[in-house]
Structure 1
Amino acid sequence: MKRGIILKPRVFITRKIPEDILTLIEEVCEVKVWPEEDTPIPRSVLEQEIREVDGLYCLLTETIDASLLDLGKNLKVVSNMAVGYNNIDIEAATQRNILVTNTPGVLTETTADLTFALLMMTARRMEESSQYLRQGHWKTWSPMLLAGQDIFGATLGIVGMGRIGEALVKRAKGFDMKIIYYNRTPKPELEESLGIEYRSLDELLQEADFVCILTPYTPETRNLIGKRELELMKPTSILINTARGGIVNEEDLYEALAQQKIYAAGLDVFEQEPLPTDHPLLTLTNCVALPHIGSATVKTRREMARLAAQNLLAYLQGQRPPHCVNPSVLTPKL
């Protein structure tokens, strides 16, 4: 290195991001970007690119495991453009003194909107009705044609009372819904302020007309909703999952829907993403499936990209990032 020249930190970004946010990173760092917007970076390319960088800016589509982290000899920070981080081996990162950051908060309201939209779509059979019309089956008005379930005054059960759960409560209040919730740790302060009631998971499943899954994905919540839990639900109940795939056992859910043990399901997340087009769930008229668009508004996605950039740049410049997943790797001064 020549005297007086300070090398910029090197960063790799695994997907095309908005130009103005990319510019913010380029002002501080030497940057390389996987140029595709809709195609995930191949693992082989990521394995090559991570070898020399100080920072990695990634999405949920990338698996950041121990073997990949071992290749990043200079890697200091992994900035995940998402709230969830089950795509990253946090323990392995911590062992290697690599900070992991995420982007909570900015997508709360947008994801709550989508969750309630799925609730309405499934209850009123909107997707099925649209296809019924488009396929030329609509011949006359009929008293019970495509009749669905009422939302106003129904009981909403929320599994996982975090930020998005709280935002969903506010939407449900506008429909005069009774709201019950299950959380690993009860939140009595919210019960009073939001007018909600705590239930055990089994009690919630038995009582709720709508069950919305909003809990984080962890080893403890994997297959949290399976055959036994689905059988506790009422035949008129509807299951909504906008949290993470793997929390609901998809084979068991298919059987419950196909055998009409529950009324319908609305899903924005799946264990395998993208969901294969031959997946059994896609054959069912009582299952609404979306391509993981919970946070997909222009404003929210831009804010997520900006926060991921802020997290990345803060740490590379010796500052504490706004959102740290494993803060134990931070030096005391941060």
Structure 2
Amino acid sequence: MAEAERPLAISAPDPRTLELIFTAEALARLKSKYEIVEADPDGIAGLGDVVLSRARYIIGQPPLSKETLDRMPALRSILNVESNLLNNMPYEVLFERGIHVVTTGQVFALPVAEIGLGFALSLARGIADADLDFREGRELWGGEGNARARLLSGADIGIVGFGDLGKALNRVLSGFRAKVKVFDPWMPRSILEDFGVQPASLDEVLSESDFVFIVAAVTSENKGFLGAQAFASMRRGAAFILLSRADVVDFDALVAAVASGHIVAASDVYPVEPLPLDHPVRGLKGFLRSAHRAGALDSAFKQMGEMVLEDMDLMDRGLPPMRCKRAERETVSRMRSKPVERN
């Protein structure tokens, strides 16, 4: 296909790269079918009218103004490979023009759900602490090492949030025959019931669960909504597992609740990343730590590229995107997650 005939796609996937999200074979397909113009996310407006007028797709989530969008009459879709929906463009203009805003964030759902299961099992059986004790020659053998152990099977489990990650978590927990309660104010009861979970209030999820998984996105309505009162309402010894974003939690209150011995916890996310070396959570007993690595698998990144290619092909043929998740006009502007800085 001649250069002038190929649709133009602006590539601004920072902090990701095309090499991260596409296999070598998929990247070759992308470049053979599209003219790719690589750009700094903050410099889209400076690309010039020739490029902007031809651009059919943007791969990434660069900040865009209405004035820049007015110079892009051919734009059909913004394919967000950062996964968080940032409030950095006039979504009302995009929706009015019928420009699809889609995200590949669901590729992280299963990897994060699986590590969440690992956190729960480790907290329930003391796996990480037992390993450290063994390395240092102070292990407890047999029943002595199980004084606080419990089974995940048949446990009362609570999930806060039931988007892609909540659904994936429910799937990986299905073999444990647990009783699962879910709180999600954006989800109808009938949908929750169709997934075999019990709709519940936040108070019920917190106070009636042995394990509480937090998988809710940060929105304008829930920032810091889980604080000291929430942790105090939990069963003594219950496990609090934070998998989505730290901003939904009062992190100091979480640290205090674990330090008091009232609950145990695990987290893959933190208020500041990387976490300062002197942060109290680093040495906190009863707290299982992971460095925001739950979803960052190469297989997940490469799945992003396949989804992007499939949806671009659909839109090239006048069809709507189906593999990526489309942003909704009613909720997109409420999202408040911080952009990722590391893959």
Q: TM-score range by the shorter chain?
A: 0.7 to 0.9
Instruction: Mark the CA change 1:320 to 1:261 in structure 2 (over 3 Å): closer, same or farther.
Output: same
Tell me which amino acid in the other structure corresponds to 2:43: Q
Distance 2:88 2:203 in 1: 31
Q: 1:124 corresponds to which residue? A: 125
Could you report, residue by residue, the CA deviation over 1:1-25 in whole angstroms, capped at 9, with x for unpaired residues?
A: xxx9446414224313232222222
In the alignment, does 2:195 pair up with 1:197? no
Aligned length: 306
Could you report, residue by residue, the CA deviation over 1:190-223 in whole angstroms, capped at 9, with x for unpaired residues?
A: 43662x3222101211111100112232111221
In the alignment, does 2:29 pair up with 1:20? no
SS for the counterpart of 2:134 is helix
Structure 1 range deviating more: 205-214 or 310-319: 310-319
Distance 1:324 1:166 in 2: 17
* Gap regions ≥5 residues in structure 1: 35-44, 329-334
Q: How does 1:232-311 map to 2 (within 5 A)?
A: 232-262=233-263, 264-311=264-311
Q: 2:41 corresponds to which residue? A: 46
Could you report, residue by residue, the CA deviation over 1:125-183 in whole angstroms, capped at 9, with x for unpaired residues?
A: 2222222233x233663743464441222210111233433343343342232221212
Instruction: Mark the CA change 1:225 to 1:66 in structure 2 (over 3 Å): closer, same or farther.
Output: farther
Overall identity of the aligned pairs, in %: 22
Q: 1:224 corresponds to which residue? A: 225
Distance 1:50 1:19 in 2: 30
Instruction: Mark the CA change 1:66 to 1:284 in structure 2 (over 3 Å): closer, same or farther.
Output: farther
Tell me which amino acid in the other structure corresponds to 1:129: A
Tell me which amino acid in the other structure corresponds to 2:294: G
Indicate the RMSD between aligned Cα atoms, in angstroms.
Answer: 3.4
Q: 2:183 corresponds to which residue? A: 182
Q: 1:89 corresponds to which residue? A: 87
Q: Is the 8 A contact 1:155 1:177 kept in 2?
A: yes
Q: Is the 8 A contact 2:6 2:33 kept in 1?
A: no
Distance 1:327 1:29 in 2: 29
Query: Between Structure 1 and Structure 2, which shows a larger proportion of helix residues?
Result: 2
Alpha-carbon shift at residue 233 of structure 1 (Å): 0.9
Q: 1:212 corresponds to which residue? A: 213
Distance 1:206 1:66 in 2: 44
SS for the counterpart of 1:225 is coil
Tell me which amino acid in the other structure corresponds to 1:115: G
Q: Is the 8 A contact 1:125 1:286 kept in 2?
A: no
Alpha-carbon shift at residue 247 of structure 1 (Å): 1.4
* Gap regions ≥5 residues in structure 2: 331-343
Q: 1:321 corresponds to which residue? A: 321
Structure 1 range deviating more: 242-251 or 69-78: 69-78
Q: How does the TM-score come out when normalised to structure 2?
A: 0.75
Instruction: Mark the CA change 1:100 to 1:172 in structure 2 (over 3 Å): closer, same or farther.
Output: same
Q: 1:11 corresponds to which residue? A: 10
